[in-house]
Amino acid sequence: MPDQKPVFLVLGAGAGIGGHVAKRFAAGGYHAVLARRSDEAGLQRLVDDIRDSGGEASGKLLDASLPDSIEDLVEDVERSIGPIHSALFNLGAQIGNRRLEDTTYKAFELGWRLATFAPFRLASALLPHMAQRGTGSLLVTSATAAVRGNAGQHSHAAAMGGRRMLCQSLNAEFAPKGVHVAHIVIDGPVDAPDTLGKMLSDSFDAYKASKGEDGIIDPAAVAETYWHLAHQPRSAWTHELDIRPYTDTPWWNDN
């Protein structure tokens, strides 16, 4: 018998934003389905944390770059667990800081495949189900690169800018059908051990200390914002917002 709880699907369920948002939705009565590319032990820890707290969760390793991987996941969840009421696309596409001459065609295309084509595939598989039911939400984590292209960020900026425009076009088509599409610009560093933490390695703790109290984005606090977005009255939907620590200068004011 399929689970009667509404389902929350996360693509990119790491220990930062993805995992914390999954925990928040599970605490709110959803069955959380967490998918990530690697680290089966880390994925299982997140699932166990949710279950130990009285929630319901499932985990799956998923390479979103493979053909049909996203599409098959959506159909499997809809069939075997239940209707997906809300979903979070939380995959990054950062390939590092590279000059134009150091950005190969392959690297540039990889950014597009992860940041733009992958959420398009998720939308293609999932939004028709939501539209048929007349309800649902698709939350898309984004980055400053979606609104500002910096030197060395050719692949990332082009791909995230495409992600932003994709979300706008999806919203234009599906909002009148009852599906809420929200684009969230994360405009600052996130306290995520398996992304920023891996990048900074041994200096991660020192970096956080240098930012001071509340000087780095808390993914648990972000999760509350995502929960709110998914449950806004449809008379007052937010399509785009940006999040940063109070100490950071906003992207639109940073010269």
pLDDT digits (tens, 9 = 90+) for 202-251: 788 888 888 889 999 999 999 999 999 999 999 999 999 999 999 999 98
Reduce the DSSP state of residue 224 to 3 states and report it.
helix
Pairwise CA distance, residues 167 & 182, whole Å: 7
CA angle 6, 130, 3 (to 5 degrees): 25
pLDDT digits (tens, 9 = 90+) for 150-159: 999 899 999 9
The angle that helices 154-174 and 118-133 make with each other, rounded to 10 degrees, is: 10
Query: Which residue is listed with tokens 């190969």?
Result: 104
Pairwise CA distance, residues 182 & 175, whole Å: 10
Mean pLDDT value across the chain:
93
Average pLDDT of the segment spanning 128-157: 95
Average pLDDT of the segment spanning 48-58: 97
